Amino acid sequence: MSIFTVSGSPHVHGEENVKKIMYTVVFAMVPAMLVSIYFFGIDAVRVLLISVISSLFFEWVIQKYLLKGPVTINDGSAIVAGILLGFNVPANIPAWMIIMGSLVMIGVAKMSFGGLGNNPFNPALVGRVFMLISFPVQMTSWPVAKPLFAPQLTDAITGPTALGLLKEGVDAGKTIEQIVSDPQMPQYLDRLLGNMSGSLGEISAVALLLGGIFMVYRKVIDWQLPVSIILTVFAVAGIFHLIDPQHYIEPSFHIFSGGLMLGAIFMATDMVTSPMNMRGKIVYGIGVGLLTIIIRLWGAYPEGISFAILIMNAFTPLINNAFKPKRFGIALKK
Amino acid sequence: MNKLRTFTIGGVHPKENKLSEQSSITVLPLPKQLVIPLGQNLGAPPKPVVKKGDEVKTGQLLARAEAFISANIHSPASGKIAKIDEAMDASGYKRQAIIIDVTGDEWVEGIETSTSLNKEISLSKQEIISRIKECGLVGLGGATFPTHVKMMIPEGKIAEYLIINGVECEPYLTSDHRLMLEKGDEMLVGIQIMMKALGTEKAIIGIENNKPDAIAHLKKLAVNYNGISIQPLKVKYPQGGEKQLIKAVVNREVPSGKLPIEVGCVVSNVGTAFAVYEAVQKNKPLIERVVTVTGTSLSKPSNFLVRVGTPVSDLIAAAGGLPEDTGKLINGGPMMGKAVSSPDIPIVKGSSGILLIKKVESKRSTPQSCIRCSKCTVVCPMGLEPYLLAKLSKLSVYDKAEKERIMDCIECGSCQFTCPSSLPLLDFLRLGKQRVGHLIRTRK
Ligand code: SF4
Ligand code: SF4
């Protein structure tokens, strides 16, 4: 008689796998990619390609020749990391700088900790912060957004971001009124759609939101996490605006400028580096929101979300330990 | 439309695959030889009262329960005891079994074999319990806990509700479904008998909404029985888990480490209710049960009424024969059933189904590293963190695993079913539970 396979239950498996999750994230980033190509043209394509290809390349080299183990570059995680790194830099950045960033991202932040699932810090953010510190000039001179096929209106090739203008203005002692009347300051609708200077992927809140909704629908992220970040930023910025509208801009400005949307939707929600349980995710989200707005309002940098997420990444193990899921049959309420 | 009830934490939706749901229960002919393992119930196995060479009749006592948690075993056919020896059972181990050469089906005196419905409950509470004990009843949902023990409520506790499990949340299995459709009245009488034994006024049958015919049928019949109601439930695995079912039906949470009676509930299954009817009204011991034989490659997925001790291979043959591409044979359902290496094992009181899985579906995917997606935590019906418990077990950090409530795990497999990295979470959890259980016992 035939002998059958014996293994423990369960004997069936659901539909989910790592690849599917990673490609869901890639798919969710498509709207933001299209917007970046629309506004930054061929430069956006160049940055994204270099970033993705170098990420895949470094992961392959490290897995094959340094770790001498299985090569898993087709699991999609290096592609996600590559796109995210590309999203976090200006479109006119030199190629070799992206490659350096990608080496740090894949080599230091991901593979040296044991690869996918074992890294404590978000690799793309480690890559970005490395680049920001190493190449501060190139990382903070943004090309002016120019819609595809539109005639060149200004001579300006690079321009400040909305957050940069704000920081500069506040530091120079201008009032909010003066700052927003600056002709370089993008209008509300432009900020929503992405018609402004900034890193590749951060410019269009609408495109990022579309991707976020898709990921929530596919259960890749929980909406509570990005929402808790955004609400926290909104609340703190709002309180200061109410107290002193002369020096603190209205809160929605913070939501729709800079990397907040990108960070809240795509970076802070990274499964590997964010907390496991719902209450923990909300605490983490509030932490990211608080740190972001503190850095933006009073820190040296106009932007704060990258540092905020990295700092909260470091708290993730503690948060996991402190906030457990609701257990069945414990703490009965009568 | 009001929302259907269900349990609140976790749960998954495996493909239902109820292939045999339309096939009525058919009686399987007696085999030439029966292999009756002694260890068929949770607790101590009973002691044989027959010896090699004895002639036995159908329904005659073969082994007597001596321990408190144990159950009698009766002969499923008439014939001669060939030997009492070791034989492989569903556990994959050789265990003591009584082997009978079958000569016919001559019943002992005093057992009523007619199928006429008898609704008159004449026995007293005590008589009911001793009859159930005499007839060797165990829970037929799979746990095989002796039924008479369950009917004895501990001092100071009251059973407010008798909850009957008609959920059948395991994919593929349909034996309970068919029983509800075909033996509805008998089951309801069985439930009333249990209510009398427990001193309970209210019984609720929980049935998942994917069996609308069973819900409608029992609802219609139940109007003739006092105190029995039907509760349709949203389809979600593992709703058949005792604690999940209680939560779904009466919204009470059994405290960690406690039994259902703590919240005034006793849970039993529809198959057991039918067996109670047969034992009490017909004096018939538990010697047969309904078993689903199923699988996507099988030509005739079926539900059979089978005598205990019949070889599994007979059931497969009757369901169209063993398909070429079979890679795994499961005793039970795909989520919690046990894989066995060979079809030469007997059906026992606790066998609810035989499932054949294709070779291509028998191999697990290669595990990857945990991506910390927390999906296992989200689906765990006990609110545990399977990724963490598996890691603690792997690292042998058992004291921490105990603190993280590893003993609450009901081994439902939802976590492993869901894990996108295909990690063998439940393998590690079982190991951890075993070790932690050992630690707890040595502490006492
Ligand atoms: S097997 Fe245990 S840990 Fe896994 S989901 Fe079920 S109860 Fe939770
Ligand atoms: S489901 Fe698997 S990959 Fe996800 S957290 Fe649990 S163990 Fe890790």
Q: Report the complex ipTM.
A: 0.88
Say whether both A76 and A188 belong to one domain: no
In 10 A of CB B192, how many CB atoms? 23
> What is the model's pTM?
0.91
| Same structural domain, A175 and A82 | no
What pLDDT score was predicted for residue B1?
44
Number of domains in chain A: 2
Given B363, B384, B409, the domain boundary residue is B363
Number of structural domains in chain B: 2
Q: Which atom of ligand 2 is nearest to the CA of B377?
A: 6
For B169-206, the pLDDT digits (tens) are: 999 999 999 999 999 999 999 999 999 999 999 999 99
Give me the helices (H) in B135-231, please: 147-151, 175-182, 184-198, 212-222
Rounded to whole angstroms, how far apart are CA atoms B182 and B214?
A: 9
Give whole-number Cα distances, B164 to A50, B7, B263, B396, in Å: 62, 16, 15, 39
The residue nearest atom 4 of ligand 1, judged by CA position, is B415
Residue among B256, B322, B339 minimizing CB distance to A11? B339
Nearest-CB residue to B253 (from A3, A276, A328): A328
* Pocket perturbation via mutation, ligand 2, pick of B12, B369, B373 by most ligand atoms within 8 A of CB: B373
Whether residues B325 and B226 share a domain: the answer is: yes
For residue B336, give the nearest of A9, A17, A115 by CB distance.
A9
In B, residues 56-115, which contact A (CB 8 Å cutoff)?
Answer: 92
Q: Give tens-digit pLDDT for B123-149.
A: 999 999 999 999 999 999 878 899 999
The number of C-beta contacts closer than 8 angstroms across A and B is: 164
Q: Are residues A69 and A184 in the same domain?
A: no
Q: Which of residues 205-264 of B touch A (CB under 8 A)?
A: 243, 247, 253-258
The answer to whether residues A27 and A214 touch, using CB atoms and an 8 Å cutoff, is yes
Last residue of a domain, one of B311, B328, B363: B363
Q: Confirm whether B92 is domain-assigned.
A: no
Q: Ligand 2 pocket: which residues have CB below 6 Å?
A: B 370-376, 386-387, 418-421, 423, 425
CB contact under 8 A, A4 and B340: yes
Same-domain check for residues A135 and A198 = no
- What is residue A212's predicted lDDT score, i.e. its pLDDT? 97
Nearest residue of A to residue B170 by CA position?
A10
Residue A317 covered by a domain: yes
Does A329 sit within 8 Å of B408, measured CB to CB? yes
Mutate to test the interface with A, among B237, B261, B371, B414 (most CBs of A within 10 A): B371
Q: Could you tell me if A111 and A167 lie in one domain?
A: no
- Is A3 within a domain? no
pLDDT at B277: 95
Domain stops at, among B309, B330, B363:
B363
Q: What is the pLDDT of residue B50?
A: 92
Examine residue B178 and state whether it is found in any structural domain, yes or no.
yes
Q: Is residue A156 part of a domain?
A: no
Same domain? For B172 and B245 the reply is yes
Chain A partners of B328 at a C-beta cutoff of 8 Å? 4-7, 11
Instruction: Note whether A132 and A236 are same-domain residues.
Output: no
What is the model's pLDDT at position A334?
40
Residues 6 or more apart whose Cβ sits within 8 Å of residue A222: A216, A269, A278, A281
How far CA B64 is from CA of A223, B67, B105, in Å, comes to 59, 9, 22
d(CA A128, CA A108): 12
**A183 and A116 part of one domain:** no
A166 and A301 both lie in a single domain: yes
pLDDT band at B2 (very low <50, low <70, confident <90, very high): low
Same domain, A135 and A229: no
| Torsion angle of C-alpha atoms B334, B337, B338, B340, degrees rounded to 10 | -60
Range of the domain at B391: 375-443
**Residue showing tokens 């066995």:** B340
Mark whether B126 and B193 lie in a shared domain: yes
Verify that B252 and B343 share a domain, yes or no: yes
- Indicate if B308 and B406 belong to the same structural domain: no
* pLDDT on residue A2: 58
Give the residue among A136, A138, A184, A133 at the shortest CA–CA distance from A161: A184
CA of residue B72 to ligand 2 center, whole Å: 44
Residues A307 and A173 occupy one common structural domain: yes
3-state helix, strand, coil in chain A (%, to 5): 60, 0, 40
Across the interface, whether the CB atoms of B342 and A329 are under 8 A apart is answered no
Interface contact flag, A9 B340, Cβ < 8 Å: no
Backbone angles phi, psi at B349, to 5 degrees: -55, -35
Full residue range of the structural domain in which residue A76 is found? 18-139
Domain-embedded: residue B204: yes
B109 to chain A, minimum CA–CA distance in Å? 40
Whether ligand 1 lies within 6 angstroms of the CB of B233 is answered as: no
Residue A284 lies in a domain: yes
Whether the CB-CB separation of A216 and A223 falls below 8 Å is answered with: yes
**A327: which strand partners?**
none
The verdict on a CB contact (< 8 Å) between A13 and B375 is no
Q: What is the pLDDT along chain A (334 residues), one digit of tens a residue?
A: 457 888 889 999 998 999 999 999 999 999 999 999 999 989 999 999 999 999 999 999 999 999 998 999 999 999 999 999 999 999 999 999 999 999 999 999 999 998 999 999 999 999 999 999 999 989 988 888 877 766 655 555 777 888 888 888 888 888 888 888 888 888 878 877 888 888 999 989 999 999 999 999 999 999 999 999 999 999 999 999 999 998 899 999 999 988 999 999 999 999 999 999 999 999 999 999 999 999 999 988 888 899 999 999 999 999 999 999 999 987 644 4
Do A10 and B426 count as a contact with CB atoms less than 8 A apart? yes
Q: Is residue B102 part of a domain?
A: no
Question: B330 to chain A: nearest residue by CA?
Answer: A11
Check residue A194 and give its pLDDT.
80
CA B343 to chain A, closest CA, distance in angstroms equals 8
Nearest CA in chain A to B372: A272
Tokens of A45: 């394509």
Residue A236 in contact with residue A308, Cβ under 8 Å?
Answer: no
